[in-house]
Every structure is written in C-alpha cells, then in structure tokens.
Amino acid sequence: MKFSLYCILFSDTRTASLQVDGCSPIDLPTNQNVPVSGSGNVTLKFCVANLLPGYTLTISVAGQTNTNTDGCLELTVTQPITVEVATLSYVETDGCGRTDSYRVTLTNTRTASLQVDGCSPIDLPTNQNVPVSGSGNVTLKFCVANLLPGYTLTISVAGQTNTNTDGCLELTVTQPITVEVATLSYVETDGCGRTDSYRVTLTNTRTASLQVDGGSPIDLPTNQNVSVSGSANVALRFCVENLLPGYTLTISVAGLMETSNDGCVDLTVTQPIRAETATLSYVGCGRKDSYRVTLTTTGGVGRPSLDIVGLTVILCVGLLLGRL
C-alpha cells in the first residue's frame, strides 16, 4: 500500500500601506498614528498587495469616503486636519467573505513658534504682529516641532535670509526695525512636497516719554534737554508703551532712583535742581534701552547762587555805611 504525503503552506502575503501627500509608504497596521500637514487638501493613498480577485478598498475620514476595486485607492481630504481617525478597509468579495480594516489617527502635531531676543516663544500663526526693540541686532528664533525627516526652515526679513535643516533657525537682523514683514517657512523635502509659511509683521511700537510736574509728556529721545522749576519736589514720570511682559523701568537722578514693572515709573526729586542728568532706562527679555536727559533750571526761584548772595551782602553793607 502506498501513502502520499502532501504539505500545504498557508501564508498571508497581504501587505497594507498608507501614503500621505506622496511621502514614503507607512506599513499597516504597524503605524497607527500618522502626522499630516493639517492645512487641508491632504492626499491619502491606501494600498493592499496580493489580494484575491474580486475585492473592494475603502477609505473613510472626516466625513469623506472613496471606494474602488484597484490595488490602491486615493482620497484627498479637503478640510484642515487637527485630529481625525481614518478607517482603511478591504473586502474580498469572491465568496470567501475575507475582510480587514485599519484605524489610523491622522494628527497635525506641528507647532510653530517665534522668539524675539530670547523672550517667551510666540505661537504661530496665532500672532501675526510682534513688537521688537527697533534698535538693531534683533535676534529671531523660528522653531517648528514634529516635522517629518528631510525639511528646510527659512527666515527672510529686511533683505536678510537664513536657512537650515534643524528644528530651529536663528537670524539676527542687523539694522534698526521700524516695520518689517518676516516670512517664516518650512518645506519637507523628503518627496512629500509639504510646505507652510507664516508672515509676521515686526514693529517697533515702543514710545518713551517724560513728564515734569504733571506737564505734557515730552517725547524721548527727541528731547535731551528739559527745563524744570529748580525748586525741590520736582515730580518726574517716565513711561514706555508697548513693552513685552517681563521688563523693568528705572529713573536715576541726583542720587535718587526708582524702579517699576508697570508701564510708568515716578520719581520725586527732593532737592533743588540747577543742572542734573537723569538716566531713564528699561530692561526686559535681554532687550534694553536708555535715555540721558539733562534737567536744567531755566526759570523760577531755585537755589540762590553765590554771586547773588555776595551782591546782596555788598548792598546791605553800603546802605549801612550811608546811614552812618
């Protein structure tokens, strides 16, 4: 009697993958979390190899669905993505009833920020207007988190440009800024063709002023010589508008000094002034500026000089001699 032995090898050769915006295919179900650009018009390509004849592929995400009977299926999501769950499935319809599905979380995890002169990072694109010192040598640091491999960051402002392939990029603007538009962009260069850019207006909106005894504010640094009454108890008020959080204002004059973390600082000079130099300054986030203003008595009584005292003595002596 003869016996024959047959070995049958059962194997599942199906391989499923997902491509996002033409990037390299991502194996499924190994990867359940997939980063996307989040800017809308994200193209998903779902492929399954070695399916039996008679099958259907389906993608469903963000209320959009597409189906076909080819080896790959594409769907373009036309709305911005923050977090969306995509369902990718196939059904073999040859009577076997074989099916499988994958649930993939599409997440826009990119976060962009801008730092000015070491201050706290400013979220982009939330903030489109950023105050700067305007005094030159303003350092900008542009960072984007969770980019895919193979990308380039670029800053362009005031005719200066810098580019790198690290997570953050710095550029120091070497000219004074009044109003400049900075373009901050990234391009993922791994074949995905994914890009985004931010346009931020850098503005020097700080205005400094000095008030003397409640008079009209005097613009700084336009006015370097300021007249005072010369009497004691001269009230000075130094204000700077549109400073970033975390700053200190200081007035220093005639050996007296006052400091404040408010928009204005007050100092009362308790001695008569003839000629004194007041130093008015602010410091914050490594950003600082100072003004030197000469306070001069141009009117009022003030402290009598030695010449006036001497003349008074001479007149009194003369009058006494005339009476004798």
The predicted-structure confidence for 62-109, as pLDDT tens digits, reads as follows: 999 999 888 899 999 988 888 899 999 988 776 566 788 999 998 887
Give CA separation, 35 vs 38, 106, 243, 300, 324, in Å: 9, 6, 37, 73, 108
Does residue 5 surpass a pLDDT of 50? yes
Summarize the confidence of residues 290-296 as an average pLDDT: 91
Structure token digits, residue 309: 């005292």
Minimum mean pLDDT among 79-83, 170-174, 297-301: which range?
A: 297-301
Rounded Cα–Cα distance for residues 22 and 159 (Å) = 33
Question: Residue 258 has what pLDDT?
Answer: 95
Report residue 230 as tokens. 């010369």
The secondary structure of residue 243, as a DSSP letter, is P
Whether the CB-CB separation of 132 and 167 falls below 8 Å is answered with no
Evaluate the omega torsion of the peptide bond into residue 125 and state whether it is cis, within 30 degrees of 0: yes
Confidence of residue 212 (pLDDT cuts 50, 70, 90): very high
Instruction: State the Cα–Cα distance between residues 268 and 246, nearest whole angstrom.
Output: 25
Model pLDDT, residue 186:
87
Name the amino acid, one letter, at 290. Answer: S
Residue-level pLDDT at 288: 74
Residue ranges and CATH numbers for the domains of the chain are 15-107 (2.60.40.10), 111-203 (2.60.40.10), 207-297 (2.60.40.10)
Radius of gyration from C-alpha coordinates of the chain: 37
Q: In terms of Cα–Cα distance, which of 290, 237, 286 is closest to 263? A: 237
Q: Measured in Å, how far apart are the chain's first and last C-alpha atoms?
A: 169
Q: What percent of the chain has pLDDT over 90?
A: 34
In 67-174, which ranges are continuous DSSP H helix? none
Sign of CA dihedral 168, 174, 177, 180: negative
Helix, strand, or coil (residue 220):
strand
Q: What are phi and psi of 210, to 5 degrees?
A: -130, 130
Tell me, yes or no, if the pTM score tops 0.75: no
Does 132 have pLDDT greater than 90? no
Tens digits of residue pLDDT in 134-158:
666 889 999 998 776 678 899 999 9
Residue 119: Cβ within 10 Å count: 20
Tell me what pLDDT residue 161 has: 95
Cα(87)–Cα(59) distance, integer angstroms:
6
Quick one: pLDDT at residue 290?
Answer: 85
* Dihedral (Cα; 312, 318, 322, 324), 10-degree rounding: 100
Q: Are 288 and 282 in contact (CB under 8 A)?
A: yes
According to DSSP, the residues that pair with 153 across neighbouring strands are: 164, 186
The pLDDT of residue 312 is above 50: no
Tokens of 313: 């003595």
* Token pair listed for 264: 């204005």
Sign of the Cα pseudo-torsion (298, 303, 308, 312, in order): positive
User: Which H or E run includes 304?
Assistant: none
Percent of the chain predicted with pLDDT > 70: 81
**Angle of CA points 180, 184, 185, to nearest 5°:** 150
136: left (phi over 0), alpha (psi -120 to 50) or beta: left
Question: Average pLDDT in the 118-145 region?
Answer: 84
